[in-house]
Structure 1
Amino acid sequence: MDRLRKHIEQITPVNDDEFEHVKTFFTLKRVKKHQYLVQEGDQATHEYLILSGIFRMFYLDSEGKEHIVQFAGENWWMADYQAYFNQKQATLNIVCMEDAEVLCTTLPGRETLSSDIHKMEHFFRVKLTKGYVAQQRRIISLLSSTPQQRYEEFGKLYPDMMQKIPKKYIAEYLGVSRETLSRLYSR
């Protein structure tokens, strides 16, 4: 839980009493490689702070093709937010790519915590805003950048992930074939 406190305090300070209260809204979960946190059709009841490991969020189209929406690593937050905030069934899948640990919180817990400690409402808003900005940047990149530019940007933004994620998933994320990624990688 010390890591949770450090993570929160990158945005807002919390005193010992506040943090004791914050901790009651989170549970630790260990996740094995290939295990799903969320599967399409499940109720999306939790939001996750990744303590270790890498996760892949993807959508399966009607033909069973996987479309990667996001990767997430240490200190990232992840959920099928459309389903989580609307308390609906998930349309996305989140799968663990290496053994991991996450902290889980529910929407009612998050709302209560935000109401109890205004600093936490600020914290969650800042985290969501940063995530929203990152998603917009990704969409713009997919719409306007060349595969080479997308590859270089991914490498600059996520150098650790570039080394850990299998190339086939990086290719899917960038919207290119595995062969095209190999050519980009060799340049």
Structure 2
Amino acid sequence: MKQQSLFATAVCQVSRRRLLLGGLAFGSMGLLAPRGLTNTPKASDVTDFLILSEFLTGRKTLSVTLARRYYLGLQDQFPDLAVRIANLSREIHASGVQTMDDYLSHGPSPEARNTATTIVSAWYLGVIGQNPKKQMIAYSDALMFQAVAGALVVPSYGAGPLAWGNRPEPYMMLKGVSDEQ
């Protein structure tokens, strides 16, 4: 009898608000868990993507973190991404080529060329997908900026605190006409 009275006392001490919030939290975990579990790639999928990306870009030091982000983003855009990567990898291995240039001269299938273009575009632009699903994955780490790293600074919103001043006066005028037309 004492067991029942302790249980009844404990239940009575929990407010309805807490009980509803707890139930809501518990129920939402059930809704969110399948999405989180299916969206998590296997480590081998990301590794395969990274190896393929290194071949396609010709770079040997691509970031594992960025590879995972690109893979997840591309997987959201293309649910059949693992199949596309497997088909492209199989076609590359079957051709026996050593570089991307050799592979392109070999004449890839349209599907393989499309997959390769999507992956290379993601790495170089730092953006995946098309409007309205376009997502930025990387900005300053995009390969397009690494190609010119010794000569150019990655552009930002401004060149510094003095960059937003007035436009300087033209230094050259031809026949009384300024260059500001």
Normalised by the length of structure 2, the TM-score is 0.25
Larger RCO of the pair (alpha carbons < 8 Å, separation 6+) = 1
Normalised by the length of structure 1, the TM-score is 0.25
Structure with higher helix content: 2
Structure with higher strand content: 1
Higher CA-based Rg = 2
